[in-house]
């Protein structure tokens, strides 16, 4: 990259290798976001996540798929690169009229710029907690089942 700084933020916890969809082009990561898990048919929910939260999003998708939702998971390793893409690309990942959720165990406010004010951000903005990662995920509501429950409750409320 020659037009600005680059930083890599790496997690301390061990994370699984997540399979990419058939035909995945690694260069799509340079666009800042890509579909890592596609919905069966037209998506009813798009979950956007970055870093270690992508694993949570993919696992929550499996729970939600079993409850009748059609979930697309978008990995967004670089928000600013995604925002520089043309509207057609951004809309292809985050189609209008589809419920949008962002998962962020960090600063949650900026995600509304991606998912819109009517979206759901499952976030935690605190700092300084210390414990094994799974314990913190459970305490702050970031286990896949907890995330799926939050999304289902939010979707039910929106339909009511």
On the question of pLDDT at 85 being above 90, the answer is: yes
Structure confidence at residue 22 (pLDDT): 87
pLDDT 10s digits, 67-82: 999 999 999 999 999 9
Side by side, the strands of the sheet bearing 120-123 are 34-37, 71-75, 45-49, 99-104, 120-123
* Residue carrying structure tokens 């992508």: 54
pLDDT 10s digits, 113-124: 999 999 999 988
pLDDT 10s digits, 124-134: 887 777 777 77
Structure confidence at residue 129 (pLDDT): 75
- Taking residues 15-38, report their average pLDDT: 91
DSSP string, the chain: --SS-------SS--PPPPPPTT--GGGGGGT-EEEE--SSS-SEEEEE-TTHHHHHHHHHHHHHTTT--EEEEE-S-HHHHHTS-HHHHHHHS-TTSEEEEEESS--GGGHHHH-TTSEEEE-------S-HHHHHHHHT-SHHHHHHHHHHHHHHHH-
Q: For residues 35 and 89, is the Cβ–Cβ distance under 8 A?
A: no
pLDDT band at 137 (very low <50, low <70, confident <90, very high): confident
On the question of pLDDT at 35 being above 80, the answer is: yes
Q: Is the pTM of this model over 0.85?
A: yes
On the question of pLDDT at 141 being above 80, the answer is: no
């Amino acid at each position: 990259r020659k037009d600005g700084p680059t930083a890599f933020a790496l997690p301390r916890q061990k994370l699984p290798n997540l399979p990419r969809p058939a035909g995945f082009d690694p260069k799509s990561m340079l666009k800042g976001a890509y579909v890592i898990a596609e919905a069966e048919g037209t998506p009813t929910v798009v979950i956007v996540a970055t870093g270690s939260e992508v694993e949570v999003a993919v696992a929550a998708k499996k729970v939600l798929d079993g409850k009748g939702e059609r979930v697309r998971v978008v990995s967004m390793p670089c928000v600013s690169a995604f925002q520089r893409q043309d509207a057609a690309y951004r809309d292809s990942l985050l189609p209008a009229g589809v419920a949008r959720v962002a998962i962020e165990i960090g600063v949650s406010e900026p995600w509304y710029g991606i998912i819109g004010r009517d979206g759901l951000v499952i976030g935690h903005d605190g700092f300084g907690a210390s414990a094994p990662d799974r314990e913190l995920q459970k305490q702050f509501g970031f286990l896949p089942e907890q995330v799926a429950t939050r999304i289902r409750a939010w979707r039910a409320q929106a339909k009511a």
